[in-house]
């Protein structure tokens, strides 16, 4: 096992997305259970943790502080600004003054002096990215953050941001089920020495065995909003899993581990950050960092999970409008 780089930091090849401990996929995990999972992740060598202002309206950041704050020196910490919850509503604000205020609030919730990697969570169409990255650069100079990241942005915005200040990481969705980064940003990040952080690398639970069952969706589960989990599209997507199971059996791993190992094979700059509330899934995810797939298996997975094979768009039209990620030609106009 070799580590991967974000800026000048070495991290384990598999990180931990902390979102679903507090947010998005149903009721929050009880704090004592979440604390056990976070401590177990560190005990197993997973030292890259990802949170955000919007996760649980700040509660996820507080959870990290209360659960593993005393182990702060053991992990590389990422959080995000621009997206937040105000008066119960989701807001988008990338003005320099808003970014700086959000950082101060995150530092307080996280009970830390510095955030290792601080992302713009989404592009703000009302604020030039140069202004937003300029504010983040000021935070680097002030010692409040170490590295700047971008999330869900395309090649054009990355280049504009990079011209203001070096970008250390791009985070966007990438998995066997979502191949869009291969259009432009995956190669661009390699060229610019930017770490590529793949969120939802197990397809929001789809690339598991057994896969996530949409009929079990709890109140508040954001997957209700994603077309590929709809009654119309999901049965067609399930057909993709049989081939994945066969390849996973050959590789001697689970389907989720196969999905993570495939991502690791896509470049030394790729770092998946699966999220989980399960101790057994956590162990499997971390063990995937030690799996090396043959080029033949990678090619078979590429051929089986072609971009066109997924049934339904990644996001509904309104959600797609909030990001700047590239789309394949066949996706234009999908609903």
| Domain harbouring 109, CATH code | 3.20.20.100
Say yes or no to pLDDT of 241 above 70: yes
Q: Could you tell me if residue 229 is inside a domain?
A: no
Helix axes 295-304, 255-264, angle to 10 degrees: 110
Inter-CA distances, 33 with 78, 95, 141, 163, 276, Å: 21, 37, 37, 43, 12
Instruction: Please give the residue that has the higher pLDDT: either 331 or 136.
Output: 136
Q: Could you tell me if residue 24 is inside a domain?
A: yes
Longest dimension (CA), the chain: 53
- How sure is the predictor about 32, in pLDDT bands with cuts at 50, 70 and 90? very high
Interatomic CA distance for residues 159 and 213, integer angstroms: 39
pLDDT in tens, 270-326: 999 999 999 999 999 999 999 999 999 999 999 999 999 999 999 988 889 999 999
Q: Could you tell me if residue 194 is inside a domain?
A: yes
Residue 32: count of CB within 10 angstroms of its CB? 8
Q: Could you tell me if residue 240 is inside a domain?
A: no
Say yes or no to pLDDT of 333 above 70: no
Residue 79 φ then ψ, to 5°: -140, 180
Q: Could you tell me if residue 196 is inside a domain?
A: yes
Q: Could you tell me if residue 57 is inside a domain?
A: yes
Residue 294 φ then ψ, to 5°: -70, 155
User: What average pLDDT score do residues 190-217 get?
Assistant: 92
Say yes or no to pLDDT of 334 above 80: no
Interatomic CA distance for residues 112 and 89, integer angstroms: 27
User: What average pLDDT score do residues 193-218 get?
Assistant: 91
Model-level pTM? 0.96
Q: Could you tell me if residue 184 is inside a domain?
A: yes
- The per-residue pLDDT for 335 is 57
Q: Which residues pair with 6 in a beta bridge?
A: 9
How open is the CA angle 251-284-246, to the nearest 5 degrees?
30
pLDDT in tens, 220-235: 788 988 999 999 999 9
In this structure, are residues 175 and 145 in contact, taking their beta carbons and an 8 Å threshold? no
Active site residues: 55
Say yes or no to pLDDT of 181 above 70: yes
Q: Could you tell me if residue 260 is inside a domain?
A: no
Nearest by Cα to 311 from 332, 327, 328, 331: 331
- The per-residue pLDDT for 1 is 58
In this structure, are residues 136 and 145 in contact, taking their beta carbons and an 8 Å threshold? yes
Where is average pLDDT lowest: 142-151, 206-215, 254-263? 206-215
**Which pairs from 210-214 meet CB under 8 Å and 24+ separation?**
211/238, 211/241, 211/255
- The per-residue pLDDT for 85 is 87
Range of the domain at 181: 4-206+266-292
Count of domains in the chain?
1
């Amino acid at each position: 096992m070799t580590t991967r780089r974000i800026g000048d930091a070495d991290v384990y090849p598999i990180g931990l997305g902390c979102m679903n401990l507090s947010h998005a996929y149903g009721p929050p995990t009880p704090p004592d259970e979440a604390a056990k999972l976070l401590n177990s992740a560190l005990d197993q060598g997973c030292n890259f943790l990802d949170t955000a202002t919007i996760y649980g309206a700040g509660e996820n950041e507080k959870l990290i502080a209360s659960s593993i704050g005393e182990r702060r020196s053991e992990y590389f910490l990422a959080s995000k600004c621009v997206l937040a919850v105000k008066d119960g509503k989701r807001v988008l604000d990338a003005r320099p003054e808003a970014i700086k205020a959000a950082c101060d609030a995150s530092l307080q919730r996280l009970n830390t002096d510095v955030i290792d990697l601080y992302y713009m969570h989404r592009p703000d169409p009302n604020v030039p990215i140069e202004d937003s990255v300029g504010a983040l650069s000021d935070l680097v100079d002030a010692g409040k953050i170490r590295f700047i990241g971008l999330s869900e942005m395309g090649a054009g915005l990355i280049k504009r941001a990079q011209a203001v200040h070096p970008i250390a990481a791009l985070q966007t969705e990438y998995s066997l089920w979502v191949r869009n980064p291969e259009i432009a940003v995956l190669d661009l990040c390699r060229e610019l020495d930017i770490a590529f952080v793949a969120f939802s690398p197990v397809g929001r639970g789809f690339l598991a065995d057994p896969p996530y069952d949409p009929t079990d969706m709890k109140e508040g589960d954001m997957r209700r909003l994603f077309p590929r989990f709809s009654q119309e599209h999901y049965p067609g997507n399930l057909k993709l899993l049989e081939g994945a199971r066969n390849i996973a059996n050959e590789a001697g791993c689970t389907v989720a581990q196969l999905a993570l190992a495939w991502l690791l094979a896509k470049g030394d700059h790729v770092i998946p950050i699966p999220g989980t509330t399960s101790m057994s899934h956590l162990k499997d995810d971390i063990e995937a960092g030690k799996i090396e797939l043959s080029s033949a298996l990678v090619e078979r997975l590429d051929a089986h999970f072609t971009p066109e094979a997924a049934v339904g768009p990644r996001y509904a039209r309104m959600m797609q409008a909030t990001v700047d990620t590239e789309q394949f030609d066949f996706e234009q106009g999908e609903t």
